[in-house]
Amino acid sequence: METKNYDLISVIEDSMKGFSKGQKLIANFIINRYDKAAFMTAAKLGDEVGVSESTVVRFANEIGYDGYPQLQKELRKLIKSKLTSIQRMEVSSDRIKDSNILKSVLLSDMDKIKITLEEIDSKIFDNIVESILNAKKIYILGVRSSAPLASFLGFYFNLIFNNVRLVHTTSVSEMFEQIIYASKGDVMIGISFPRYSLRTINAMKYAKKQGSKVIAITDSNDSPLAENSDLALTARSDMASFVDSLVAPFSVVNALILAIAMRRKDYVYDVFENLEKIWCEYGVYEKNDKNL
C-alpha cells in the first residue's frame, strides 16, 4: 500500500464516484467520523452504517488495502495527528472504562514499550550515538508535551558534554535566535509526537539547511519529523484522553543517555565525583543516615 496515512481521506473522497451504495455509506462514515471508525471492528462498522461485514472488508480492498485491519491501522495513524483534545476525550471514553483506568493505562504503556523494542532499529540507534559523540554543538528542541523529554535529555547531556544547548521557546522568533548559529558539524535533536509541533519541524528544516545533522525522536518513520531528519529514532506513543502517553519515548531517551555515558565512562565518572563533593558541600541533597 503506497498511500500515506495523511492522504487517506482524500483517497476515499476521490474514489467516491466508483463506490457501490453500501461502500458510499462506509466512506461517508469514515470521512465524518474517522476518530470513531478507527476503533471499530469490521462487523461493528458494518452494523453502524447498515451494511454487512464482508462489504466493509471489500471496501478496504477497493481503496488499496490488503484487508480491514490494515485500513484500521492507517486510520489510527491518522487520528493521532488530526484529533483535537475534545475528540481525544470522546475516543478515550469508549476505550477506557472509569473502573479500570489505572490498569488500562499501565497495560497500554507496557504494550507500547514492547512494540517499540520489537520495531526499533539498533543500527540507527548506534549511528545516532556516534553522531552525537562527534558533534561540535548539540541542540535539543521539544515543545509542548515533548518539552519534558527534551528537558530530561538536556539535563543529562549537560553533565556529559559541555556543548549542549536546550532550546527554550516562548515564541518562534526566540527559537530561531537560539539556533541561528547552527552549522555543519552540529547536531539538532528534534522531539515531537502527535500532534506534531510545527515549530519543531521548522527548526529542524532550518538546521538541516544550515548543514547540521538533524536527528528526530518521534513515533514513526512516516511522521513529518522523520521526513525532515537525517536519522530518526522511533518509539511508540499513544493518547490517553487529552494526555499524551510518552512512556516508551522516555525509555528510548533513557537508553540514549546511558549508551553515550558508557562511551564516555571515565569522563562521566570524574564529573560525578566532583558533583558529589559539591552536592555534599552545599547541601544539595538531604542526608539520610540509613543510606550512607
Q: How many residues does the chain have?
A: 292
Cell numbers 475534545 label which residue? 86
Position 16: which residue type? M
**Topology (CATH level 3) of domain 115-264:** Rossmann fold (3.40.50)
Output the pLDDT for position 174: 84
Q: Among 39-43, 155-159, 187-191, which stretch is predicted with the lowest mean pLDDT?
A: 39-43
Cα dihedral 216/221/227/231 (nearest 10): 40
Position 135: which residue type? A
| Banded model confidence at residue 6, pLDDT cuts 50, 70, 90 | very low
Which CATH number is correct for 5-82, 1.10.10.10, 3.40.50.150, 3.10.300.10, 1.20.1250.20? 1.10.10.10
pTM score, whole prediction: 0.71
Output the pLDDT for position 80: 63
Tens digit of each residue's pLDDT (9 = 90 or more) over 29-79: 988 877 778 878 899 999 999 999 999 999 999 998 988 998 988 887 776
H or E stretch at 142: strand 138-142
Output the pLDDT for position 172: 75
9 or 277: whose pLDDT is higher?
A: 277
Same fold, 5-82 and 115-264: no
Strands 138-142 and 164-166: parallel
Which residue ranges make up each domain of the chain?
5-82, 115-264
Instruction: Give the span between the Cα atoms of 122 and 198, in whole angstroms.
Output: 28
Position 171: which residue type? S
Instruction: Give the span between the Cα atoms of 203 and 172, in whole angstroms.
Output: 9
Cell numbers 545516532 label which residue? 128
Output the pLDDT for position 235: 93
Residue 3 has pLDDT above 50, yes or no: no
Output the pLDDT for position 104: 78
Residue spans of beta strands (DSSP E) within the chain: 138-142, 164-166, 187-191, 213-218, 231-234, 238-240, 243-245
